[in-house]
Amino acid sequence: MAAEGKLGIQRCQGCSRLRHPPRPMCGDCRSIKWEAVEACGRGTICSFTVLTHPQFPGYEYPLIIILVDLEEGTRLTSQLINCDPADVAFGLPVEMVIHTDPDGFNIPVFQLAEAR
C-alpha cells in the first residue's frame, strides 16, 4: 500500500484484531486468514529514541525513531521527520507521509501533525 501513498496494516479475518508488524498468524485467535486495511495515518507518539550513529548513507542524522499509537488502535514503529529532537515528546499528534528512500522504495514515515 505504501507504493500508492497509503498506510496498510493487517486485520485478522477471524477476530478482527489489527496487528503490526505483519505476520502469518494471529496471536489472539491463531487464524491464518487476514486482510490488508488502510489506516488513516494519524496517531500519537507513544515512545521515541534518537539515533546519532552508526550513520547509513541517504539518511539525515540525528534520526528520530518513534512508536506510534495509531487512531485505529494498533502501534507501529517508524521515523519522525522534519522535527528537531528537542521538540519530540510523548503524546504529540503525528501524521503519516510517504518518503522515498535512497533505493527508491516508498516508506511510510511521520511528521508532527498540524493543529486540527
- Which of 3-12, 82-91, 105-114: highest mean pLDDT? 82-91
pLDDT, tens digit (0-9, with 9 covering 90-100), for 25-60:
999 999 999 999 999 999 999 999 999 987 777 778
pLDDT at 115: 52
What does pTM read for this prediction?
Answer: 0.86
Determine the distance from the C-alpha atom of residue 58 to the mean position of all C-alpha atoms in its chain, rounded to a whole number: 19
Q: What is the pLDDT of residues 61-92, one digit of tens each?
A: 899 999 999 999 999 999 999 999 999 999 99
The DSSP result for 2-55, as a single string, is GGGT-EEEEEETTT--EESS--SS-TTT----EEEEEE--EEEEEEEEEE-SSP
Band (103; pLDDT cuts 50, 70, 90): confident
Query: Going from the N-terminus, what domains does the chain have, and what CATH number goes with each?
Result: 2-112 (2.40.50.840)
- Using the predicted structure, report yes or no on whether residue 116 has a pLDDT greater than 70: no
